[in-house]
Chains A and B, each alone.
Chain A
């Protein structure tokens, strides 16, 4: 086959688009529905807060973090002062930093400009991180950005439609379905973490987060407790993994 379509000098634009479409397909499975349900809630909350529809949509494309948006509109409803709102939002979004730091070295290429990098990290949010942190390793390095942008832009588009729908409809759901709507975020996140888990470090980090949360509740000030959970649980998992590795290398001889 002299004219193989898979030879490395394929037209770059076409293959980039191909990988962006693969990113779209990843989003179009389950994450898009999780997004939709989360942002239906954000939209209806924004309406309750009395901001215009445009501001609700703007919050989705700029803040682009469901929990932070819930804090923002929830605090507006309760009449919290704006600087205090800013502080709680900042505390809630600290968790985006380790996610960005763990993804960026896998995404960024030597040719990626500073401006493009800023745009890439802007698209990092919890769902996008949970979907890509494991899968991205199987993507050719120079196609990862295309794949990631395909994935995240699909999610942003779904989130905008859901924000709009939530704002406009703000339908009163039956009680049981409303509970199901609120449950979708925790069950999806935990299932996505379990799917990403391959090594002891992942399992230990996940279960220590679940166990530490009730233990630290009320011990550390609100907003900071998540950060403490992350650092303690993550360090514990990392130390266990190191210990296990050093033991296994001792067992199998020098390597």
Chain B
């Protein structure tokens, strides 16, 4: 399977729908039946929301634990320190997401520049 075979005719589009779109979309589709009859204020919904929150935090931790590309050159401690710094500024600025993200970004760019290979 060379990259060449992916650029032929309709095949790249078809492969994307069959092996990319459908396996992903099936969960959105199934959620309609799961959500059916779930009340907006129910405890089940509260649990589901907590699961989604923990899951997303897990995604973030995984990205920082085993990052790709340029981020991997920044030491693990510095990655989490930048995250903590961003959260601290977020808390100090009365929950400003923009301020938190900007601070974390500045920290990571500086760290990447400092630890550049």
Contacts and interface: CB of A to CB of B under 8 A. Distances in A.
Contacts of A226: 55, 58-59, 62
Nearest to B117: A175
Interface in A59-94: 59, 62-63, 65, 67-69, 72, 76-77, 79, 82-83, 85-87, 89-90, 92-94
* 7 nearest A-B residue pairs (beta carbon): A209-B57, A50-B3, A233-B54, A234-B51, A230-B55, A213-B61, A100-B31
A190 B83 contact: yes
Nearest to B103: A187
A236 B51 CA distance: 9
A96 B70 contact: no
**A96, A178, A235, most chain B CB atoms within 10 A:** A96
Given A117-B32, A133-B52, 10 more contacts: A59-B21, A89-B23, A89-B24, A181-B70, A182-B68, A191-B90, A191-B97, A205-B54, A225-B58, A234-B47
Nearest to B47: A238
Interface string B26-55: 111111101100111001011111111111
Given A82-B15, A179-B74, A235 B50 contact: yes
B61 A210 contact: yes
A72 B51 contact: no
Contacts of A169: none
A100 B15 CA distance: 26
A16 interface: no
A63 B108 contact: no
Nearest to A104: B35
Contacts of B83: 186-187, 190
Given A51-B6, A191-B87, A217-B65, A101 B48 contact: yes
Contacts of B25: 62-63, 93, 122
A86 B20 contact: yes
A87 B17 CA distance: 14
A234 B17 CA distance: 32
A247 to B, nearest CB: 17
Contacts of B109: 176-177, 179-180
A229 B52 CA distance: 10
B1 A79 contact: yes
B53 A234 contact: yes
A101 B31 contact: yes
Interface stretch (A2-10, A149-157, A159-167, A192-200): A192-200
Contact of B29 (A55, A121, A130): A121
Nearest to B68: A182
B92 interface: no
Contact of A100 (B13, B35, B64, B74): B35
B92 to A, nearest CB: 12
A122 B29 CA distance: 8
A236 B58 CA distance: 14
A211 to B, nearest CB: 8
**B6, B12, B98, B117, most chain A CB atoms within 10 A:** B12
A102 B3 contact: no
A180 B28 CA distance: 31
B56 A126 contact: yes
Contacts of A58: 13, 16-17
